[in-house]
Chain A
Amino acid sequence: MFWKREEKNHAIDSAPCNEWTKREGAGIKTKVKDTAKQLFLTLIIMPSMMALGSLQGASAQSEVEKGMTIAQMARDADRGFENFVAEMTMILRNKQGQENKRSLRVKVLEVKGDGNKSLFVFDNPKDVKGTALLIHGHITQLDDQWLYLPALKRVKRISSANRSGSFVGSEFAYEDLGSLEVEKYTYKWMGDEKCGNLDCTITEYTPTERGSGYTRLLIWHDKDEFRIWKIEYFDRKNALLKTLIHEGYEQYLGKYWRSKRSSMVNHITGKSTELLWDQIQFQTDINEREFTKTGLRRVR
């Protein structure tokens, strides 16, 4: 789960990390599926911007529909990116401000009808240089993950069940890095709010999977492009655990928005992790065979 599917489809997403997913995928729980169908019709009939803005004071049902619409629009804005490559730096800070750095190369391949495929190669710290993680994301079942250990030249299939676990000691859990698959949450629109110069809308995402470490997420999307500007994560006791802020959005190929700087603050431990993105390129000539076990053992 890393960020695997991230990019996939959606749209609005903001930071590379939070993207969401597609709906064609399948499997959703029945309730969600029915809602999705209705929404889809609604979307076709109404101009897309409709939903936002004018529904204050609407019934509970329409708050749910509105939340779902926002999630789908966010997802749709990112569809068709095909692939992207980037360099990522993670700066881990403890309460005292001491820093630790990780640097990785990231490649993501959009997969139609399923979760995306992602490849992460570590360059730093040096003792894990060349270690690579391959993820085949899935919408309705656990992802497939393989790890390449260069010292042993070993390709190892690893468990992807640890969704709420920390990614390489950072404040990001694996599930924070994966895409926000539309089918994996239920929704509720919570209201509108100014965010900087933009008008934002706040949506509550409730994970439907048992493996999630959260009871709910509050997500701030802007109404223009459906980029995510802020996420609040609530732990299993429904206490505010972490806040993620995205900054420095840039648009690629006239369509895809990516935040170049994100920071996740853990309110319980006082620790934080900053993500910096560089060399972002979309629709490159990478081959899908790079996202196989054969490609994984070629990684350096």
Chain B
Amino acid sequence: MSKYWYTILSCLLFASGSGHADESGDWTIETWGTVSFGSRIFLDDPLYHGQHGNNNHVAFEPTIYMESAEGNSFTLTPYILLDSNDNNRTHVDLREAYFLTFGAWGESEWELRIGIDQIFWGTAESNNPVNIINQTDFVVHPNGESKLGQPMIHGTLAGDWGMLDVILMPYHRHRTFSGTKGRFRTPIPVETSSDQVRYASSSGRTNTDLAVRYSNNLGSLDFGISYFDGNSRDPSFQPNEKFNKLIQHYNLIKQFGVDIQLTLGAFLGKMEWTAQEELTTDDVKSVYHASVIGGEFAIYGVFESDADLTLFTELHHDTRGAKATTPLQNDLFYATRYAFNDIMDTDITIAFIDDLDYDTKTLNLEFNRRLSDTFSLTLEAFKILEEDPNDIQSRDIFNDEYVAFEVSYNF
């Protein structure tokens, strides 16, 4: 652990001088961010040589934000994660590094963002098929919610008629994967050096990807219609010649997507649907659909308390079936969140995923609570309730049940 102390110290020194705004010239500079320490304790003995029974990490994610008097801004958010065991999990990324300017255009408004940024599309809770702009930073958390920064030019036009986003992406980020010593890995580890990644596009990772999205809200309906043409974010894998590494292959895809949310009192109805046409690295063309449909219902002031109980159900489907790049090829997600609505914002979520094609069933528990104005705590547990050895999309993680905690210092 000693190698981390220097990082922790420098993080804290950085943090102590920040968390407030300074005026310099016409620009206001503000900094904020998070330093977190966490540990995962795995419930099963490691399967592979070099893996450990637990993994500790320190992560540092500061944001430096500069804004001019006119409202133009520059945002810089580096991300550093140090893992006690897995060299692949130890990594640095630029989550954000972009310039933003905006203005009026008649009755409408335009925005231009240039640089590295993150864009979220979607409405569902458990997974978002339409969310395609940013690559998953898988080593941070197996839930796939952490994303790598994506270089882009992003223009927006918005008015009473809705919002139109046009995004040009000149560079592809490949997914991060655990190294040989990390948990959540395939029996043959994934090759992660960038010169070993294969692309269907003749331009490889410098293929210019295009994305367009129109979105609007009409009364209780919020919706988006999106189109993407470029390198897929979901790799497929083929072993190398020595059969000791899996090579990432990225197809060229055209994806049409729709996301919808209907907000009716305490009930939210949600749907995402995508259709993809893909061209593989072997020049094979295919078409498939991926979708999620579901909703959530909140019971406010449950049991005569201040707490809210929210019930979630979502059904995932992918027409590729067993060949899908997601384990949610035909899965039912159901969850309950109990939010105490107390001063410390305490909440507990219990989530089940039931694979309808196989017998696999998983359970996730999450507990969040603020400890003070600056510290917060997350506890987590992941358990496989039922293992189906025929479930090739999930079986690699059957040995990675864990309990985890993370303490964050927010400034």
Contact = CB atoms under 8 A, between A and B. Distances in A.
Interface of A: 92, 94, 100-101, 124-130, 142, 144, 152-155, 157-159, 161-162, 164-166, 168-169, 213, 287, 289, 292-294, 298, 300
Contacts of A166: 306, 341
Contacts of B19: 126
B370 A127 contact: yes
Given A124-B373, A125-B373, A157 B156 contact: no
B265 A165 contact: no
Contacts of A152: 120, 145
Nearest to A92: B343
Contacts of B214: none
Contacts of B341: 165-166, 169
Contacts, number: 97
Given A159-B268, A165-B341, A294 B410 contact: no
Given A144-B217, A153-B119, A162-B298, A298 B102 contact: yes
B410 A125 contact: yes
Given A159-B266, A165-B301, A294-B156, A125 B374 contact: yes
A292 B109 CA distance: 11
Interface of B: 19, 30, 32, 65, 67, 73, 75, 100, 102, 104, 109, 111, 118-120, 145, 156, 158, 163, 215, 217, 220, 222, 261, 263, 265-268, 298, 300-301, 306, 308, 341-345, 370, 372-374, 376, 408, 410-411
Given A94-B343, A165-B308, A294-B156, A127 B408 contact: yes
A135 B350 CA distance: 29
A169 B345 contact: yes
Contacts of A158: 263
Nearest to A94: B343
Nearest to B157: A294
Contacts of A165: 300-301, 306, 308, 341
Given A159-B265, A169-B343, A294 B222 contact: no
B120 A153 contact: yes
Contacts of A154: 120
Nearest to B376: A127
Given A294-B109, A300-B67, A125 B370 contact: yes
A164 to B, nearest CB: 7
30 contacts: A100-B343, A124-B373, A126-B373, A126-B410, A127-B374, A129-B32, A130-B32, A144-B217, A152-B120, A152-B145, A153-B119, A157-B217, A157-B263, A159-B263, A159-B265, A162-B266, A162-B298, A165-B301, A166-B341, A169-B342, A213-B301, A287-B104, A293-B158, A293-B217, A294-B109, A294-B111, A294-B156, A298-B102, A300-B30, A300-B75
A144 B279 CA distance: 42
Contacts of B65: 300
Given A159-B266, A294-B163, A153 B118 contact: yes
B266 A126 contact: no
A190 B265 CA distance: 34
B157 to A, nearest CB: 9
Contacts of B300: 161-162, 164-165
Nearest to A130: B32
Contacts of A144: 217, 220, 263
A176 to B, nearest CB: 14
Most B CB contacts (10 A, CB to CB) among A126, A154, A158, A169 go to A126
B308 A162 contact: yes
A44 to B, nearest CB: 35
State the 9 A-B residue pairs at the shortest beta-carbon distance, nearest first.
A126-B410, A294-B158, A161-B265, A169-B343, A162-B300, A127-B376, A154-B120, A127-B410, A161-B266
B265 A126 contact: no
Contacts of B100: 298
Contacts of B32: 126, 129-130
Contacts of B266: 159, 161-162
B348 to A, nearest CB: 16
Nearest to B267: A159
A142 B265 contact: yes
A168 B339 CA distance: 11
Contacts of A293: 158, 163, 215, 217
Contacts of A94: 343
Given A159-B298, A294-B156, A300-B73, 18 more contacts: A94-B343, A100-B373, A124-B373, A126-B373, A127-B370, A128-B345, A129-B32, A144-B220, A144-B263, A153-B119, A157-B268, A158-B263, A159-B266, A165-B306, A169-B344, A294-B158, A294-B163, A298-B102
Contacts of A298: 100, 102, 111
A102 to B, nearest CB: 9
A112 B374 CA distance: 41
A213 B300 CA distance: 11
Contacts of B267: 159
Given A164-B301, A294-B163, A126 B261 contact: no
A298 B102 CA distance: 10
Contacts of B109: 289, 292, 294
A81 to B, nearest CB: 23
Nearest to A163: B300
A217 B265 CA distance: 24
B195 to A, nearest CB: 30
Contacts of B374: 125-127
A55 B31 CA distance: 60
Nearest to B131: A154
Contacts of B301: 164-165, 213
A128 B376 CA distance: 10
A161 B266 CA distance: 6
A164 B343 CA distance: 17
A101 B343 CA distance: 9
A142 B220 CA distance: 9
Contacts of B158: 289, 292-294
A127 B376 CA distance: 7
A130 B301 CA distance: 27
Contacts of A130: 32
Contacts of B67: 300
A224 to B, nearest CB: 38
A154 B308 CA distance: 22
